[in-house]
Amino acid sequence: MKDLLIKIVKALVDNPEQVQVNEIESTQTVVLELRVAKSDMGKIIGKQGKTAHAIRTVLNAASGGAGKRYVLEIID
């Protein structure tokens, strides 16, 4: 799932080399912490958060039968 998130985000930003994803796993939840360059933050969040919501939707759909809930956190 981490690889999927990295591919999606790198396609959206101007500075793909600064994309970092940290995965924190617990028993039922996996938190994916996303860090991008300050100049790319608006591209990831999108107007009214629509891009971030779409990325979260893709992650939830891709997790399907994994039995875990994936949470995306965008870190400044």
Q: What is the pLDDT of residues 7-28, one digit of tens each?
A: 999 999 999 999 999 999 999 9
Q: pTM of the entire structure?
A: 0.90
Domains identified in the chain, total number: 1
Mean pLDDT of 30-55: 96
| Confidence band of 74 (pLDDT split at 50, 70, 90) | very high
Does 76 have pLDDT greater than 90? no
Backbone angles phi and psi of 15, in degrees to 5: -120, 75
Nearest to 23 by CA among 56, 71, 64, 65: 71
Q: What is the pLDDT of residue 66?
A: 73
CATH number of the structural domain spanning residue 7: 3.30.300.20
What residues make up the domain containing 51?
2-75
At a CB cut-off of 8 Å and minimum separation 6, what does 22 contact? 32, 33, 35
| Confidence band of 32 (pLDDT split at 50, 70, 90) | very high
